[in-house]
Structure 1
């Protein structure tokens, strides 16, 4: 049976979910890894930052790798190496070795992330629907399922042997999905001589643009703002409620769960919302909602309102990152490399956001430190016009099949 050149929605969903799953099941056992190595908080923070550093080192080269080998091959390799790296965490005998493992793992995870987004953008554009929020919802759902698997393993007293076993499960799923990827359209291949008559027939791809464009930088800043808003909730929301508002630890965990739940729901609803109202409108609305949620959580003394704020926060940030990736994929002549550039800029938020907010929290308090996120969301509102759809004549109503 001939493979659908538009690509398989199901295959991309599986690869996104497997990426979230292998990360969630590993990060859920960070306390056990800490105890196994006898690491202190500073050492733990260093090794976790190593993963982000590895991603940022490798991500800028992903666009060229996909141009040359295709996202199918790139994702197949990085799925295997990334899952192997997460599994090896269980065998690390010391903090320096763990740091090395996570730097190398981060390199593969970063490339995997960008390459699967490139395939996802290809599928989205081929099917003329906003599918990227669904793909990122699959990642979030996979992360929740992975974290739940790790929590069950810890509850049952299973040791770190869980990590390689569940990483192998994620690898099998990821390889299955990636093996069904299809070649992307050649918009960003290196320019070659155009055959006579090809331009008239519309068969020739647009020549690649070399170098970072202003549009990519602006979209990257929007994506960074969304990533900062998402990461700050995961890093600081529970701690804010416990340390600043005096909430029980269980309530802090509940509010963080509420955030992740509404973020997943928001991504599932984001595709139809973008098709109906437009990408820029949905992103602006999300930024306003997220900013209002952060102010509600930081300024209120009511735990009930704080829980409502957590729900609003997740719903607000849900579509920003996936919508920015879709917009990057529409940069003329830069598709794959634009996605690479935007993703790299955005990942700076995951690497530097937590330390920056932590330093500010020491100086002015955690509640006020989170105003930095509100400021970036305000910048997002100013830049949001760049998010408008560039593809002419998108019907936005065609059904998305799983094949």
Structure 2
């Protein structure tokens, strides 16, 4: 039997989990990398920014790469090179070399990230289910497992040889999953619906056909072979020519990108500053700070597991709005309360609130009409700006106003998310409820 043209949920889950696993096992050994290089915290922090820089350099081009070569090939190569980059961290001789290695690693990790999100969106739309939160939960679960593996290696006294060994494990899993990706539906040209109507071919979801209808299904209705796409090519022919996406950037992409940026900033600021906030500002023991950060990551994973059913019941916009409000309230509890018990509760709610924002925004980007993979690229690039610039911005503000007050900037972005949340509404029938007025 041929491969299911709707794509494999398991394959996407494995690729997301392997990405989180490889990253988690490497970042857990940052102190060992610092000791190996004899670097101070400032120099190491600058080197670690190379990851975000490399990702931002690569992400704007990933949509084009996937359009040209298909996500199966693109993600397979990115997984192999990304894991090679994480492995190389174990043998870098100096901080400048570490910076260069992390820029190259970040380039491939960025392509890996966008490519797997594109495939995940395709699978989600083809199956007419809210699956993206589950995929991102797999990433969180992989990160927890990877970080735990790194912590165990450190406790056992294993050196940085752990990095290439576990990177190989992640690479094998990631390549296996990517090899089971299927070609995504090509983006629509402006006027394509009219052309299909003139040829007697039914329109797609955005033209009034139910959202679950896929291109192969439409082709089958008109006598095309079961394994063929609407353009008549075999399902495995990822180099088949595809219609170009609409030019420019839509207003919907920019607004969804800002929502995704707010979620990424709230997530990244917790990972970067939550433990330090509790220890330095509230005087908590270091173990309590680590416990609260662990609580944040666990509830974020749980929130993503619950996010799919919640979105299907209440709608994407409502869930994102509720999550943003919960995260903003939790940050205020953590920063303003002197009670460590309330701080722990705030950390739990912080993770639960931000859990669905990023994956829901990626789903919304995948529904922008006529933009296809390019919309996911734009939204991902905007969001990853938070990971690159969020930590240094909060750090600079903390020098002036204190770390607790510096985190108010995250609350401000979450308030902006509440205002913009209507753009996250799902498509319904022939209407695109996300809107797509062109601005470029």
The 3-state SS of whatever aligns with 1:377 is helix
> What's the counterpart of residue 210 of structure 2?
none
> What's the counterpart of residue 300 of structure 2?
263
Q: Can you list the C-alpha shifts for 1:190-215, whole angstroms capped at 9, x where unaligned?
A: 99995794364336898631011111
The 3-state SS of whatever aligns with 1:201 is coil
The answer to whether structure 1 residue 355 and structure 2 residue 407 are counterparts is no
The answer to whether structure 1 residue 343 and structure 2 residue 380 are counterparts is yes
| Larger Rg computed on CA atoms | 2
1:43-54 equivalences under 5 Å are 43-54=43-54
Distance 1:160 1:327, change over 3 A: same
CA distance in 2, matches of 1:306, 1:103: 35
> What's the counterpart of residue 182 of structure 2?
182
RMSD of equivalent CA atoms: 1.8
The answer on whether the counterparts of 1:67 and 1:189 sit within 8 Å (CA) in structure 2 is no
Distance 1:250 1:196, change over 3 A: closer
1:127-276 equivalences under 5 Å are 127-187=127-187, 197-198=198-199, 200-202=201-203, 208-276=245-313
> What's the counterpart of residue 29 of structure 1?
29
Distance 1:196 1:356, change over 3 A: closer
Q: CA deviation at 1:335?
A: 1.8
The answer to whether structure 1 residue 365 and structure 2 residue 366 are counterparts is no
> What's the counterpart of residue 81 of structure 2?
81
The answer to whether structure 1 residue 390 and structure 2 residue 391 are counterparts is no
The 3-state SS of whatever aligns with 1:93 is coil
The answer on whether the counterparts of 1:223 and 1:342 sit within 8 Å (CA) in structure 2 is yes
Q: Structure 1: 5+ residue runs without aligned partners?
A: 395-403
Q: Can you list the C-alpha shifts for 1:245-287, whole angstroms capped at 9, x where unaligned?
A: 0000000000000000000000000000000000000000000
> What's the counterpart of residue 42 of structure 2?
42
Distance 1:199 1:306, change over 3 A: farther
The answer on whether the counterparts of 1:16 and 1:135 sit within 8 Å (CA) in structure 2 is yes
Runs of 4+ in structure 1 off by over 6 angstroms are: 189-193, 204-207
Distance 1:18 1:190, change over 3 A: farther
CA distance in 2, matches of 1:8, 1:208: 25
Q: Can you list the C-alpha shifts for 1:338-378, whole angstroms capped at 9, x where unaligned?
A: 00000000000000000000000000000000000000000
CA distance in 1, matches of 2:89, 2:100: 10
Q: CA deviation at 1:126?
A: 0.4
CA distance in 2, matches of 1:184, 1:124: 11
CA distance in 2, matches of 1:14, 1:74: 16
CA distance in 1, matches of 2:197, 2:372: 25
Q: CA deviation at 1:390?
A: 1.4
Distance 1:383 1:289, change over 3 A: same
Q: Can you list the C-alpha shifts for 1:137-167, whole angstroms capped at 9, x where unaligned?
A: 0000000000000000000000000000000
The answer on whether the counterparts of 1:188 and 1:336 sit within 8 Å (CA) in structure 2 is no
Distance 1:308 1:293, change over 3 A: same
Distance 1:158 1:186, change over 3 A: same
The answer on whether the counterparts of 1:188 and 1:337 sit within 8 Å (CA) in structure 2 is no
The answer on whether the counterparts of 1:8 and 1:180 sit within 8 Å (CA) in structure 2 is yes
CA distance in 1, matches of 2:294, 2:417: 25
